[in-house]
């Protein structure tokens, strides 16, 4: 007979390679505390429902609490012989309190047990991600406020477009992260659901109280259908997709950080604490953390697709394929949490090179739209003003000058009423401050936006 905890029906032991292939303890030991928490709730309910005696309940609870303390003291050793965290805990509990430990599994299957663990784990990690996003949003708010006067070239197609406030640019990431956070918050209603008591798929004949275990574990409600309860992994896919969006936003920011700290741009300087050097080129200071976040966004996207493919053709209810739901999920969550934490520190400590940015704005045509709009004020149709400005820009490029260098006489040849005001209009500061619409780039609008952001955080 097999010596596995489920081995009563088996006459021979498992092949060594099969045993290795079948085990998941190297991954799912991450769920140790959730498994203990779920087991304490379950056995407490069994005692209250008189399914177990008071003494049996007390022994099992004390044994579980003792295992928790052993784990905190690094005094537990898990074995692949017992496959997963659930059977390892049951084996360790049996060693500690004897055969009464076998009664812990009354009215419960590993199917609803692991589902309960995963729900508890996901709720905890989603809340940590929400906290990490909030911290990064605070970092963005602070740097936006501290540098409210800094104007940078805005880009479309990676070509100079129009002058904007650096704060306006940074705050766009605040709002991306706000949507990320709201998606996570809203998803909790679908994650914080109790599958405990669903058994393998059909429920149980024992007179259990599922409402009690749900309340003890702080679940909002119970799955209405026991089959759905043990086979549902939608909440994992949803969380992984939300992580994909977070990492995609961080990857976009990473790309800009990498460009901005290049020698050609030199808009920012990253702290040494968030940079690395070269083993051969002494002068190098590399934005490796931004590059790693950009790279890891691809890894978590791959994790999501892998999970989707694992689930796409599974019949109901539980299948061993679902053992594969953990490794990539745990990796995506920890990658996201680490990336958010690193970005908070990197944003907090980065230096804005204001002089370099200011000089850059003197050598482009990002004020061309200002000239076109100015010509419209003299009654020239915008399309005609656009064409006149475009032609003048082309001439300036040939002459190696900029719009601010064009003489007043040349401007008057375009329209006789143009005066010295044109040079004020063409200044980057004017281009920014004239855009006072609700979500525009003027200082007034961006400060209002920052206050709106603060209200979201509060």
Domain of residue 58, CATH code: 1.10.275.10
pLDDT value for 362: 87
pLDDT value for 101: 97
Domain shared by 367 and 301, yes or no: no
Q: Is the pLDDT of residue 199 over 70?
A: yes
Q: Could you tell me if residue 11 is inside a domain?
A: no
pLDDT band for position 89 (cuts 50, 70, 90):
very high
pLDDT value for 23: 77
Domain shared by 258 and 328, yes or no: yes
Q: Is the pLDDT of residue 377 over 80?
A: yes
pLDDT value for 172: 98
Domain of residue 425, CATH code: 1.10.40.30
Which whole number is the average pLDDT over 309-317?
91
Q: Could you tell me if residue 73 is inside a domain?
A: yes
User: Where a domain ends, among 103, 121, 149?
Assistant: 103
Mean pLDDT of the chain: 94
Domain shared by 345 and 365, yes or no: no
Domain shared by 139 and 263, yes or no: yes
pLDDT band for position 51 (cuts 50, 70, 90):
very high
Q: Could you tell me if residue 336 is inside a domain?
A: yes
Which whole number is the average pLDDT over 167-171?
98
Instruction: List the catalytic residues.
Output: 157, 278
Structural domain tally of the chain? 3
Which whole number is the average pLDDT over 17-33?
85
pLDDT band for position 287 (cuts 50, 70, 90):
very high
The 10 Å Cβ neighbour count of residue 398 is 8
Least confident segment among 92-101, 118-127, 272-281:
272-281
Find, among 291, 296, 288, 289, the residue nearest to 247 by Cα: 296
pLDDT band for position 100 (cuts 50, 70, 90):
very high
Q: Could you tell me if residue 328 is inside a domain?
A: yes
pTM value?
Answer: 0.93
Domain of residue 149, CATH code: 1.20.200.10
User: Where a domain ends, among 55, 77, 103?
Assistant: 103
pLDDT band for position 189 (cuts 50, 70, 90):
very high
Least confident segment among 178-182, 289-293, 309-313, 319-323:
319-323
pLDDT value for 12: 66
pLDDT value for 276: 87
Domain shared by 98 and 156, yes or no: no
Domain shared by 95 and 118, yes or no: no
Q: Could you tell me if residue 193 is inside a domain?
A: yes
Which whole number is the average pLDDT over 377-382?
94
pLDDT band for position 9 (cuts 50, 70, 90):
low
Cα separations (Å) of 296 from 128, 238, 246, 310, 324?
A: 19, 19, 11, 21, 20
Check residue 165 and give left, alpha or beta (phi > 0: left; psi -120 to 50: alpha). beta
């Amino acid at each position: 007979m097999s010596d596995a905890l489920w081995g009563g029906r088996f006459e021979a032991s498992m092949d060594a390679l099969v045993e290795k292939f079948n085990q998941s303890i190297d991954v799912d030991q991450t769920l140790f505390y959730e498994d203990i928490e779920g087991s304490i709730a379950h056995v407490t309910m069994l005692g209250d429902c008189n399914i177990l005696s008071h003494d049996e309940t007390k022994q099992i609870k004390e044994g579980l609490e003792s295992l928790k303390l052993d784990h905190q003291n690094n005094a537990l050793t898990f074995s692949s012989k017992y496959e997963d965290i659930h059977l390892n805990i049951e084996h360790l509990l049996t060693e500690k309190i004897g055969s009464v430990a076998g009664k812990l599994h009354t009215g419960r299957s590993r199917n609803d047990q692991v589902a309960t663990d995963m729900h508890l784990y996901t709720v905890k990690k989603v809340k940590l991600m929400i906290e990490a996003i909030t911290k990064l949003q605070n970092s963005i708010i602070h740097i936006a406020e501290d540098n409210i006067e800094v104007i940078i070239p805005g880009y479309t197609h990676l070509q100079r477009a129009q002058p904007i406030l650096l704060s306006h640019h940074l705050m766009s990431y605040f709002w991306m992260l706000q949507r990320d956070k709201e998606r996570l918050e809203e998803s909790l209603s679908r994650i914080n659901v109790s599958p405990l008591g669903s058994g393998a798929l059909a429920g149980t004949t024992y007179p259990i109280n599922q409402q009690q275990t749900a309340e003890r574990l702080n679940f909002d409600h119970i799955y209405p259908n026991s089959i759905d309860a043990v086979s549902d992994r939608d909440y994992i896919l949803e969380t992984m997709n939300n992580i994909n969006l977070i990492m995609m936003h961080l990857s976009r920011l990473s790309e800009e950080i990498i460009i901005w700290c290049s020698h050609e741009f030199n808009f920012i300087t990253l702290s040494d604490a968030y940079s690395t050097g070269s083993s051969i080129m002494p002068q190098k200071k590399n934005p490796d953390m931004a590059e790693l976040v950009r790279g890891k966004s691809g890894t978590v996207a791959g994790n999501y697709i892998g999970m989707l493919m694992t689930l796409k053709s599974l019949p109901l209810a539980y299948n061993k394929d679902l053992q594969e739901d953990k490794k990539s999920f745990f990796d995506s969550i920890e990658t996201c949490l680490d990336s958010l934490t690193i970005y908070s520190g990197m944003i907090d400590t980065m230096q804005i090179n204001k002089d370099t940015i200011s000089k850059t704005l003197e050598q482009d045509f990002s004020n061309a739209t200002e000239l076109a709009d100015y010509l419209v004020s003299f009654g020239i149709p915008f399309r005609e003003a656009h064409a006149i400005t475009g032609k003048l820009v082309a001439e300036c490029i040939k002459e190696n000058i900029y719009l601010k260098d064009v003489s007043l006489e040349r401007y008057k040849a375009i329209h006789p009423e143009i005066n010295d005001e044109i040079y004020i209009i063409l200044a980057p500061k004017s281009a920014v401050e004239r855009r006072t619409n609700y979500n525009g780039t003027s200082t007034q609008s961006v400060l209002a936006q920052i206050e709106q952001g603060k209200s979201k955080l509060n």
